[in-house]
């Protein structure tokens, strides 16, 4: 079930059966010469939307802008600073909690978001602690590549040149969902260099075409479909487990 294609009355009745909601979250940032700018928000969205076709979960609109300041020297990247990102996550959670959602599950598509999403959760819990009340809700963060079976499959599909940015696995997922948007390029070198992440100018100087350690030329829509099927099944299990956690 997709929240944005539902009415308020449908959400009100969903709340009578479940208090759990899944929020895909990512980033809109450059992904090398062939990766879509939306890759990091498209991947969790594609997986969550596939999962809701197979199981009874509610998926909220995708939170599609995140921590991408280091990619800003590549056109099309849109970034929030950490304080803005945390404030926005806080209000998403407060809004959902206001309706009675108690388990808010963020399916993340961008490693650079992790520290700030966790900090946003801590802010929400601190708010309740200082006010001397129970939050009444719990937040959970899961990166889509950490869902059961996904990284093992990606390692078998791409034993070399997976890398850490503009990876063949994430690009394969978007190719499966958006075959009309598949791009081609000659990669030089075939496997991109790796190194640290600092500010935007430093990043562009180190990683000329935007990739880090990856060879996205190995991506195919078929491999993407296998990743989505594995991830969607694991997501349903993970969300069910989170939803069943008892509040003490």
Distance CA 163, CA 140 (A): 26
- Beta carbon nearer to Zn ion, 43 or 236: 43
Site for Zn ion in 178-197 (CB under 5 A): none
Site for Zn ion contains 40 (CB under 5 A)? yes
> In whole angstroms, how close is the CB of 37 to Zn ion at the nearest point?
10
> In whole angstroms, how close is the CB of 64 to Zn ion at the nearest point?
13
Going residue by residue from 137 to 176, which x/- string records binding to Zn ion, judged by CB under 5 A? ---------------------------------x------
Distance CA 164, CA 151 (A): 12
Contacts of 33 (CB under 8 A, 6+ apart): 183, 185, 187, 209, 210, 211
Q: Are 115 and 27 in contact (CB under 8 A)?
A: no
- Beta carbon nearer to Zn ion, 39 or 113: 39
- Beta carbon nearer to Zn ion, 40 or 102: 40
> In whole angstroms, how close is the CB of 164 to Zn ion at the nearest point?
9
Burial 108-117 (b: 16+ CB within 10 A, else e): bbbebbeebb
Site for Zn ion contains 45 (CB under 5 A)? no
> In whole angstroms, how close is the CB of 111 to Zn ion at the nearest point?
8
> In whole angstroms, how close is the CB of 179 to Zn ion at the nearest point?
19
How would DSSP label each residue in 27-61? -B--BTTTB-TTHHHHHHHHHHHHHHHHS---BPP
At 91, is the secondary structure helix, strand, or coil?
Answer: helix
- Residues of the shown chain interacting with Zn ion in the complex, contacts defined by CB under 5 A: 39-40, 170
């Amino acid at each position: 079930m997709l929240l944005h294609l539902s009415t308020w009355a449908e959400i009100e009745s969903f709340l009578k059966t479940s208090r759990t909601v899944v929020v895909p979250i990512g980033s809109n940032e450059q992904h090398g010469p062939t990766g879509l700018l939306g890759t990091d928000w498209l991947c969790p969205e594609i997986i969550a939307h596939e999962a809701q076709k197979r199981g009874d979960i509610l998926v909220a609109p995708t939170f599609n802008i995140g921590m991408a300041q280091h990619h800003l020297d590549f056109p099309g990247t849109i970034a929030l600073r950490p304080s803005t990102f945390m404030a926005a996550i806080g209000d998403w959670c407060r809004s959902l909690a206001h309706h009675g959602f108690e388990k808010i599950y963020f399916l993340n598509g961008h490693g650079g978001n992790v520290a700030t999403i966790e900090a946003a959760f801590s802010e929400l819990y601190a708010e309740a602690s200082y006010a001397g009340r129970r939050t009444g809700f719990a937040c959970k963060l899961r990166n889509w590549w950490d869902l059961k079976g996904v990284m093992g499959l990606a390692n078998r599909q791409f034993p070399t040149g997976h890398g850490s940015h503009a990876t063949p696995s994430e690009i394969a997922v978007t190719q499966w969902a958006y075959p009309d948007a598949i791009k081609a390029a000659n990669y030089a070198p075939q496997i991109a260099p790796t190194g640290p992440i600092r500010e935007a100018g430093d990043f562009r100087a180190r990683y000329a075409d935007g990739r880090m350690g990856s060879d996205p030329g190995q991506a195919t829509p078929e491999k993407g479909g296998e990743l989505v099927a594995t991830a969607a099944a694991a997501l349903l299990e993970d969300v069910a487990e989170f939803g069943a956690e008892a509040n003490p």
